[in-house]
Amino acid sequence: MESVEVIGFLNTLLEAERAGAKVVAQFMESYPQGSEVMIKLRDVQRDEARNCSILLHLVRQAGGEPSHATGDFLHKALAISDPAERLIFLNRGQSWVARKIPEWIPKIADIEIRNTLKDMETSHISNIKICNDLISLSK
Ligand SMILES: [Fe+2]
C-alpha cells in the first residue's frame, strides 16, 4: 500500500495520459493518411493509450481506486488550431510528465511501480524528441 499522495500522483498521471491519448488521436485526424506526421503521431498515441492501461493497473497495485476523469489538458489542447502550436502544447504536457516522474520515484515503496514509471519516463523523453522533430517540419 502506497501513501495517499503517491496514489494521487498515479491518478493524476492516469488523467494526464488519458487526455494525451485523446488529444493525439484528435490531432492525427488533421493529417493525411500514411503521411510521416500521421505515422509518428500514431506511435505516440499508442504509447499514451498503453500508459493509461498501465497506470490503471499501477493505481490498483498501489492500493487505490483508478480515476475515471480526463485531465483538462484535453480541452486546452483542442482549443489550439495551429498545427505547430498544438504539438508544442502537447510537448509541454509530455515534458511535465517526464519531469514529475523522477520527482516522485523516491517516494514510492514498490520497486515494480518505480521501474514501470522509469520506463514511462524514458518513453516520454523519446516521444518528446519525435514531436520536436515534427514541430520543426510543421514550421
Ligand atoms: Fe504522456
Whole-model pTM above 0.85? Answer: yes
* pLDDT exceeds cutoff 90 at 138: no
Distance 32 CA to ligand 1 centre (A): 23
Distance 110 CA to ligand 1 centre (A): 22
Distance 2 CA to ligand 1 centre (A): 22
Which helix (H) or strand (E) covers residue 53, if one does?
Answer: helix 36-61
CATH code of the region 4-138: 1.20.1260.10
Distance 79 CA to ligand 1 centre (A): 18
The tens digit of pLDDT for each residue in 98-118 reads 999 999 999 999 999 999 999
Distance 97 CA to ligand 1 centre (A): 6
Window from 9-13, 34-38, 39-43, 62-66 with minimum mean pLDDT: 34-38
CA angle 93, 94, 96 (to 5 degrees): 65
Phi-psi region at 34: left, alpha or beta (left = phi > 0; alpha = psi -120 to 50): left
Distance 120 CA to ligand 1 centre (A): 8
Q: How confident is the model at residue 137 (pLDDT cuts 50, 70, 90)?
A: confident
Q: How confident is the model at residue 69 (pLDDT cuts 50, 70, 90)?
A: very high
Which helix (H) or strand (E) covers residue 29, if one does?
Answer: none
Distance 17 CA to ligand 1 centre (A): 5
Query: What pLDDT is recorded for position 103?
Result: 98
Grid look-up 517516494 returns: 107
Distance 130 CA to ligand 1 centre (A): 13
